């Protein structure tokens, strides 16, 4: 299959491109499109076969449910049996935005979307291109990140192309996605609501609207159905082995002394050295998140023996960044607990 990359204005999406994407989606096809978090691989969420194609193209385990993107609160309400009060308050405050709410589904939502479970994960994305697709297409879009399963998430159309070229007909290219990290996922079917995946909105952002939430980290054994797709221990990972450490100087020295060529991802200035490729990101969690996947994609493409990542600060604002880096550093066969951090 030929994969077309079509440029779209990120603020005022051209209707031609949106209509072409809509035609493909209506026919059961897949379209990669930007959201404010990362690029998504979209399919009509109400079309069983289109949803099955997402799993096939990504190599995603069928036990990993998908997030369904909708145009507004009313469209979300059509897919759930109940819209609990805390969910209403959060949706009113943060939609459109990087917050995914897990609620009890109705029979309209195919089982493939929810991995056979009784709940569906919903969000209204804030990116103008994603919203235009949802509004023009008038269908909910199931859309996980547009990359092969467990690989680094895509924050540019080029990342999507590298991972999925030949497997999907269309990528809408609106430039780099602004947020750079996946949405926060909150299960509102339980009291207090439970954080299933940290993301761009922090637990404090949620607690400010609905009071205390349960933010204990969730990790699912790789062999069992995930409660949340991103909760498998290994995920968001480059193909180059990645090591997360607080002792960057010691580890870099040991590797360079052995003659290894290594990459360093850090939020502090680092001196250039022979055989060391440095990617320095902003020292604030929002700036770091925005650039993190792109920096990891560059390091992964640089033919290095290892990527060393300087552990981010321990405070809450860095929770989602730490979560992704811990999963990226998990060995591929890893099961069980990831440190709470």
Interacting residue ranges for ligand AMP, rule: CB under 6 A: 65-67, 100, 102, 114, 117, 119-121, 144-145, 182, 185, 196-197, 227-231
Q: Which residue is nearest to ligand AMP (CB)?
A: 228
Rounded Cα distance, 226 and 235, in Å: 12
- Kindly state the DSSP code that residue 225 receives in the 8-state scheme: -
Q: Residue 113 CB, nearest distance to ligand AMP (Å)?
A: 8
For residues 61 and 266, what is the distance between their CA atoms, to the nearest angstrom? 32
Q: In this complex, which beta carbon is closest to ligand AMP, that of residue 30 or of residue 264?
A: 30
Three-class secondary structure of residue 245 per DSSP: strand
Q: Which of ligand AMP, Mg ion, none sits in contact with 228, Cβ below 5 to 8 A by type?
A: ligand AMP
Rounded to a whole number of angstroms, the minimum distance from the CB of residue 244 to ligand AMP is: 20
Residue 120 binds which of ligand AMP, Mg ion, none (CB < 5-8 A, kind-dependent): ligand AMP
Q: Is 3 helix (H, G, I), strand (E, B) or coil?
A: coil
Output the smallest distance, CB 336 to Mg ion, in A. 21
With CB under 5 to 8 Å by kind, the binding choice for 117 among ligand AMP, Mg ion, none is: ligand AMP
Strands ordered across the beta sheet of 119-123: 4-7, 170-173, 31-34, 39-44, 141-142, 67-69, 119-123, 99-104, 184-187, 194-197
CB 120 within 8 A of CB 112: no
Give the one entry of ligand AMP, Mg ion, none that residue 202 binds, where binding means its C-beta sits below a cut-off of 5 to 8 angstroms depending on kind. none
For residue 80, the minimal CB distance to ligand AMP (Å) is 11
Nearer to Mg ion, 225 or 313 (CB): 225
Which CB sits closer to ligand AMP, 3 or 63? 63
Residue 198 contact, options ligand AMP, Mg ion, none, Cβ 5-8 Å cut-off depending on partner type: none
116-155 positions binding Mg ion, by CB under 5 A = 145
Report the distance separating Cα 284 and Cα 301, nearest Å: 25
**Residue 116 — left, alpha, or beta (φ > 0 → left; ψ -120 to 50 → alpha)?**
left
Identify the DSSP state of 4: E
**Residues 6+ positions from 272 with CB-CB distance below 8 Å:** 278
Cβ proximity to ligand AMP, 195 vs 308, nearer residue: 195
Q: How far is the CB of 39 from ligand AMP (least distance, A)?
A: 11
Min dist. Cβ of residue 228 to Mg ion (A): 11
How far is 277 from 78, CA to CA, in rounded Å?
50
Binding site for Mg ion (CB under 5 A): 145
């Amino acid at each position: 299959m030929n994969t077309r990359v079509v440029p779209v204005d990120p603020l005022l999406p051209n209707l031609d491109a949106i209509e072409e994407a809509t035609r493909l989606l209506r026919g059961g096809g897949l379209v990669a499109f930007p959201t404010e978090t990362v690029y998504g691989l979209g399919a009509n969420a109400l079309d069983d076969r289109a949803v099955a194609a997402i799993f096939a193209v990504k190599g995603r385990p069928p036990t990993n449910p998908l997030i369904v993107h909708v145009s507004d609160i009313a469209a979300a309400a059509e897919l759930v049996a109940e819209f609990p009060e805390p969910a209403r308050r959060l949706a009113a405050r943060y939609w459109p935005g990087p917050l995914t709410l897990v609620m009890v589904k109705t029979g309209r939502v195919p089982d493939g979307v929810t991995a056979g479970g009784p709940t569906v994960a919903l969000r209204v994305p804030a990116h103008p291109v994603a919203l235009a697709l949802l509004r023009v297409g008038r269908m909910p879009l199931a859309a996980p990140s547009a990359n092969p399963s467990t690989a680094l998430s895509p924050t540019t159309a080029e990342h999507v192309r590298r991972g999925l070229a030949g497997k999907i007909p269309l990528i809408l290219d609106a430039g780099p996605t602004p947020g750079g990290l996946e949405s926060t996922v909150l299960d509102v079917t339980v009291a207090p609501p439970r954080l299933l995946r940290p993301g761009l909105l922090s637990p404090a952002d949620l607690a400010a609207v609905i009071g205390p939430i349960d933010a204990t980290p969730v990790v699912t054994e790789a062999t069992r159905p995930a409660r949340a797709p991103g909760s498998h221990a290994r995920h968001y990972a480059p193909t180059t082995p990645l090591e997360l450490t607080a002792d960057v100087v010691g580890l870099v020295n040991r590797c360079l002394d052995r003659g290894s060529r290594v990459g360093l991802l850090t939020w502090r200035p680092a001196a250039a050295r022979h055989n060391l490729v440095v990617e320095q990101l902003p020292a604030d969690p929002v700036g770091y998140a925005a650039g993190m996947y792109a920096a990891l994609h560059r390091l992964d493409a640089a033919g290095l023996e290892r990527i060393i990542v300087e552990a981010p600060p321990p405070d809450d604002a860095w929770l989602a960044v730490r979560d992704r880096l811990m999963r990226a550093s998990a060995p591929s066969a890893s099961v069980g607990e990831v440190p709470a951090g």
